[in-house]
Amino acid sequence: MFVSRALLAIGIYSWCEPLELIGRWQKSAFLFTAFSLSIMRDYSFMGNGGLMIDTFTHSELGNGLALLAVSAGARQRYIASFALAGLVGFVNLFMGVWLAPLIMALVFRQLRLGRVRWDTLAQRTWPGIVFGLAFLVPVLVNLSHNPDLGTSPAFDFRVFLSQFWPLHFFVQNQPRHEVVGILIVFATWVGFTILLPSEPRKVMFLLGTVVVLVWICGAILPLVTASSLLLNLHVLRISTYFHLFAGLSAAAVLARWLTGREPADRLFWGPALLAASSISIATAVLVAPLLVLRLLWSGPTGAFRIALRIALLGLTTARLALVSQENIHNDVQFSIKGAAWQDVARWANAHTSKNAIFLLPVETLYYMPMDNIGARYTGDLTSGNEIFEAISHRRRWVSSKGGAAVMWTPSYYQEWRTRIRSVLTARTPGERLDYARRNGISFVVDNCVTIGNLRPVFRSGELCVFPAAPPKPLIDDPSTPSRR
Is residue 206 in some structural domain? yes
Domain ends where: 240, 259, 278?
Answer: 259
| Ramachandran class of 49: left when φ > 0, alpha when ψ lies in -120 to 50, beta otherwise | beta
How confident is residue 483, by pLDDT bands cut at 50, 70 and 90? very low
How confident is residue 466, by pLDDT bands cut at 50, 70 and 90? very high
Backbone angles phi, psi at 276, to 5 degrees: -60, -40
Backbone angles phi, psi at 460, to 5 degrees: -150, 115
Assess whether 70 and 208 both reside in one domain.
yes
CB 34 within 8 A of CB 40: yes
Residue 369 in this model has a pLDDT that exceeds 80:
no
- Closest C-alpha to 444, from 396, 483, 399: 396
Q: Is the pTM of this model over 0.95?
A: no
What is the mean pLDDT of the segment spanning 213-239? 94
Assess whether 17 and 125 both reside in one domain.
yes
Question: What pLDDT score was predicted for residue 37?
Answer: 95
Is residue 37 in some structural domain? yes
Question: What pLDDT score was predicted for residue 481?
Answer: 42
Backbone angles phi, psi at 52, to 5 degrees: -100, 90
What is the mean pLDDT of the segment spanning 175-179? 92
What is the mean pLDDT of the segment spanning 409-417? 91
Assess whether 243 and 383 both reside in one domain.
no
**What residues make up the domain containing 356?**
352-467
Please state, rounded to an integer, the average pLDDT across all residues of the chain: 89
- Low-confidence winner among 310-314, 342-346, 367-371 (lowest mean pLDDT): 367-371
Question: What pLDDT score was predicted for residue 217?
Answer: 96
Is residue 296 in some structural domain? no
Domain ends where: 259, 279, 300?
Answer: 259
Residue 475 in this model has a pLDDT that exceeds 80:
no
Domain tally for the chain? 2
- Closest C-alpha to 335, from 294, 291, 300, 384: 384
What is the mean pLDDT of the segment spanning 295-319? 85
Is residue 317 in some structural domain? no
Is residue 315 in some structural domain? no
Question: What pLDDT score was predicted for residue 442?
Answer: 95
How confident is residue 364, by pLDDT bands cut at 50, 70 and 90? confident
Q: Percent of the chain, pLDDT > 70? A: 93
How confident is residue 72, by pLDDT bands cut at 50, 70 and 90? very high
Q: What is the DSSP string of 74-140?
A: HTT-HHHHHHHHHHHHHH-HHHHHHHHHHHHHHHHHHHHTTSS-HHHHHHHHHHHHHHHHHHHHHHH
**Which one-letter DSSP state was computed for residue 266?**
I
What is the mean pLDDT of the segment spanning 91-108? 95
Is residue 286 in some structural domain? no
Is residue 299 in some structural domain? no
Assess whether 235 and 87 both reside in one domain.
yes
Assess whether 393 and 252 both reside in one domain.
no
> Mind listing the pLDDT tens digit for each residue in 127-154?
999 999 999 999 999 988 988 888 888 8
Is residue 327 in some structural domain? no
Residue 461 in this model has a pLDDT that exceeds 60:
yes
From residue 351, alpha-carbon distances to 354, 361, 384, 467, 472 in Å are: 9, 20, 21, 12, 10
How confident is residue 14, by pLDDT bands cut at 50, 70 and 90? very high
Question: What pLDDT score was predicted for residue 368?
Answer: 57
Which residues make beta-bridge pairs with 458? Answer: 465
Give the integer Cα–Cα distance in Å for 179 and 47.
11
Question: What pLDDT score was predicted for residue 425?
Answer: 87
Assess whether 53 and 169 both reside in one domain.
yes
Type of residue at 122:
A
Residue 438 in this model has a pLDDT that exceeds 90:
yes
Is the model more confident about 131 or about 428?
131
The residues, ordered by sequence, that sit 6+ positions from 262 with a Cβ below 8 Å of its Cβ are: none
Question: What pLDDT score was predicted for residue 470?
Answer: 57
How confident is residue 8, by pLDDT bands cut at 50, 70 and 90? very high
